[in-house]
Chains A and B, each alone.
Chain A
Amino acid sequence: MSEKRVFSRPQTLKDAPFHFCPGCHHGIAHRMVAEAIDKFNLREKTIGVASVGCSVFLYDYFDVDVIEAPHGRAAAVATGVKRARKDRIVFSYQGDGDLASIGIAETVHTANRGENITIIFINNTVYGMTGGQLAPTTLLGQKTTTSPYGRDFMQDGYPIRMTEILATLEGTAFAARVAFTTPKNINMAKKAIEKAFQFQKEEMGFTFVEVLSACPTNWGLNAIDSMKRVEEEMIPYFPLGIFKERKAADVL
């Protein structure tokens, strides 16, 4: 009986080992985005926007043209790319410090203008690359290197729900929150990311997928316990699902 290949690296991903820590979900998210690009045969038409944080090395893994944006400004850079090249597929890939803290103005206004781009938002409740500081998405009570007593709403306010905020804007065509904790959730994540790119292809407007993601290193947990934390602590506060899905008729 001859062997049949049933699983292979997406064409959009280079044959390069990820630098991410063991148990980190960036690798899964990278693969899923690459698979979506492959699915619609968009690799040669795609321009990626890298952000600042662990995600900056996007260009080392994705075999597409990439521009590296300043911290928080990826949505603005993506706006410029897309305005100049409407026939290209443009996506940014940003962490929570980048998107929800320093870049929240650019994010909200890009969505509000209905820019026809896709943002993949990695929410792991912590600043990863700088060593585990408080993020705007850090959960109440969560200890980080700059909230050593745990996040206190009296001091730092509440964790911010970006998908819900962006879903309120008319310019947003698709907004969903996903996670990789179970096979069911992984399937849902895959579909959501595919839909975001499909919507962009169909010029439906701004598309946004938030991925609840594990950061075992900065959480001080192993890979399995990190997955449990996403399921048991993050999902109750950051519910999964599609929060906005524009119908084609809405844009006519």
Chain B
Amino acid sequence: MTEAHDLVKGNEAVAMGAIDAGCLYYFGYPITPQSDIPEYLSYHLPRVGGEFVQAESEVAAINMLMGAAATGTRAMTSSSSPGISLMQEGISYIAGSEIPTVIVNMSRSGPGLGGIAPSQGDYFQAVKGGGHGDYHLLVLAPNSVQELYELTILAFDLAEKYRNPVMILGDAMIGQMKEPLSRRPPEKGEKASKDWALTGAEGRPQRVLKSLYLKDGELTAHNWKLHEKYKAMQENEIRFEALMTEDADFVLVAFGSAARIARTSVLMAREAGMKVGLFRPITLFPFPEPQLSALAKTGKPFFVVELNTGQMLEDVKIAAAGNRVDFFGKPPGALPTPEEIFEEIKNIYPGTKG
């Protein structure tokens, strides 16, 4: 077991989390900046009785995942932005067929080939549904190596609980950095029922996993059923971190790696006597809109910081319901420094006080 003082790379923490969650199969295609995940699992999965398959493409990888997970076995894939784009077809089918899967996006920058630097440009794709049809992924956004490990384990449980694909949205920064990791494999808890899994119709009626519904009213009913599931996620699965938001005059909102940088800026602001808080959504879908709305109702304006030109901003604006929302965006190419964000806070802060 890994002790708390062991330094572990973010990508490897994902792979360790997968192993500790009982994941047995991995299908993927190499792409920077997440190749540590397939590399680690190609070594470790065979040692726990599982298998690693390097697919011919991300298109194949997501479909192999669909097949393996359809048998009720824990399986995953990982990639980075352009590869995740290629997987969108499969993700839509997996969501429609309700197959529990875990998909990791250590996002890089786009559009197109873009670059390999950290970016949060895939928020819309992850949260709003990058494939066709009316579906949602459950999206988790870790901001540390420890959280990458723990949320990977959680991802497998949530995928099975809701029979839904779960995405872990990190980026090149979270995936590549090293931090102390305390590896705590979960206790063998109650397993979700798998009365849908394809295991061969031995002494039971045939089971079918599909997304085609042509009979009158069938597809409508299927879409409403999926909608109910997303509603249940919104009721039960919202996760967030609120730092000094209660007495704050205004609240900085950021997720993932942007939230790490912003946290330092918030502490600098507090040091300088400004009552600034930090709200960090951990689930991007379901988005912690009720919690942000509650803050908005007390009159607190929001300041959104993202490593893009404004994506989560739209969801924060909905929660703000007309309250003031400022934005600081950093498209890929350079990361903001805590000082840069602090300067922005200093500009905005006076105007937010009555």
Contact = CB atoms under 8 A, between A and B. Distances in A.
Q: Is the interface of B mostly helix, strand, loop or mixed?
A: mixed
Contact of B63 (A44, A46, A77): A77
Contacts of A62: 206
Q: Bin chain A's interface residue count.
A: 20 to 34
A213 B17 CA distance: 49
A80 B67 contact: yes
Contact of B199 (A59, A68, A85): A85
Contacts of B63: 69-70, 73, 76-77, 80, 106
B199 A88 contact: yes
B70 A67 contact: yes
Nearest to B51: A83
B265 to A, nearest CB: 44
A71 to B, nearest CB: 8
A228 interface: no
Interface of B: 24-25, 27, 51, 53, 55-57, 59-61, 63-71, 73, 75, 89-90, 93, 97, 198-203, 206-212
Contacts of B73: 84-85
A85 B197 CA distance: 12
Nearest to B202: A44
B214 to A, nearest CB: 9
Interface string A99-116: 000000110010000000
Given A59-B208, A80-B75, A81-B71, A67 B198 contact: yes
A52 to B, nearest CB: 8
A43 interface: yes
A67 B64 contact: no
18 contacts: A47-B71, A47-B198, A50-B210, A64-B200, A65-B208, A68-B210, A76-B63, A78-B67, A79-B53, A80-B65, A80-B75, A81-B67, A83-B25, A85-B71, A85-B73, A88-B199, A105-B59, A109-B60
A9 to B, nearest CB: 16
A59 B200 CA distance: 13
Among A49, A85, A88: residue with most chain B CB under 10 A: A85
A73 B90 contact: yes
B64 A79 contact: yes
A83 B201 contact: no
Given A68-B209, A70-B90, A73-B90, A80 B198 contact: no
A69 B61 CA distance: 13
